[in-house]
Amino acid sequence: MNESAATARTLGLIACHDCRLLIEAIQVREHPHCPRCGAHLHPRKPNSLTRTWALVWAAIIFIIPANVLPMTITSTLGAKQADTIISGVIYFMQTGSWEIASVIFIASVFVPFCKLVILIFLLLSVQFRSRWRPKDRTTLYRLTELVGRWSMVDIYVVTILVALVKLGAIVSIEAGPAAVYFAAVVVTTMFAAESFDPRLIWDVIEEDV
């Protein structure tokens, strides 16, 4: 890493978030808008830590009902069966569909939990001004952002099943209440990842130089 390289902040400049125009930092006070594209100007994402924390907390709360409540309610010949995410995974495992089970497990259980853990780790590391492997932490952040949207696979699967399997009294699938909470988890974690400013990881190191 080239630690001596100039950054926008060291040069007293602010890069516009949208059009990347460099603006003098002094101007920000009076004109918080980008003169070129009109976007709000901040040296770093405003309240990044607070916002991320808030959203992470929301996601932590939402992830509980998402996993406890039933995701799908299958009624076969009048017999209703409610399945949570985990019970669905176990069902596929027991019936020998390891591939489907692993896909559902990774997309619906592993990824959301990982994302939350990574975000909490990043937040804590920034808050405690950690200098530990900043590059790896940035990689983790990129991973979180990249993989976030794929968690919606489960929601898609449920919506498609609900739409397709409608054979009246013989068999039908309904979305359970967990679907809403699961979607909320995915959305809040995505926003949390979005509101986290990875430059904060580097600011500490920059200050040391």
Partner 1 sequence: MNDSSPIKQQAATAKIQTKRPFSIVWIVPLVALVIGGWLAYKAISEKGPVITITFSTADGLEAGKTKIKYREVDIGQVETIALNNDVSKVVVTAKMIKGSERYLTDQTKFWVVRPRVSGSSVSGLSTMLSGAYIGIDGSDKGAPTLAFTGLEVPPVVTVGQPGRHFILKADMLGSLDVGAPLYYRQIQVGQVVSYNFDDSGKAVDIKIFIEAPHHAKVTETTRFWNASGVDVTLNAQGLKVDTQSMVSIVSGGIAFDNVPKDAPPGDEAKENETFLLYAGEDAIHEKKYSVRNYWILLFNESVRGLSVGAPVELYGIKIGEVVDLNLEFDLEKKKFQVPVIIAIEPERISSAKKEEALEAAKKDPRALIQELVEKQGLRAQLQSGNLLTGQLMINMTFVPDAPKTTLSSYAGYRVVPTVPGSFEKLQESLSKIITNLEKVQFDQIGTELHQVLKETKTTVAGIGDFTKQMNNETSPQLQSTLIELQKTLVEVQKGMGANSPLNYHTTKSLEELSMTLRSLRELTDTLNKQPQAILFGKEKKADE
Site string for partner 1, 79-108 (x = CB under 8 A): x-x-----x---------------------
Confirm or reject binding of residue 168 to partner 1 (CB under 8 A): no
Residues with Cβ within 8 Å of residue 151, at least 6 apart in sequence: 107, 108, 111, 112, 115, 185, 186, 189
Confirm or reject binding of residue 69 to partner 1 (CB under 8 A): yes
Kind plus residue range of the DSSP H or E element containing 14: strand 13-15
Rounded Cα–Cα distance for residues 89 and 96 (Å)? 11
Confirm or reject binding of residue 59 to partner 1 (CB under 8 A): yes
Q: Contact region for partner 1 (CB under 8 A) — 65-73, 101-109, 125-133, 134-142?
A: 65-73
Q: What are the tokens at 88?
A: 């669905």
Rounded Cα–Cα distance for residues 195 and 200 (Å)? 12
Confirm or reject binding of residue 200 to partner 1 (CB under 8 A): no
Q: 185, 189, 206, 158: which is closest to 52 by C-alpha?
A: 189
Among 21, 39, 54, 73, binds partner 1 (CB under 8 A): 54
- Determine contact, residues 56/123, Cβ cutoff 8 Å: yes
Q: Contact region for partner 1 (CB under 8 A) — 41-49, 102-110, 130-138, 142-150?
A: 41-49
Confirm or reject binding of residue 17 to partner 1 (CB under 8 A): no
Chain residues that interact with partner 1, rule: CB under 8 A: 9-12, 25-26, 28-29, 42-44, 46-47, 50-51, 54-59, 61-62, 64-65, 68-69, 77-79, 81, 87, 181, 184, 188, 195
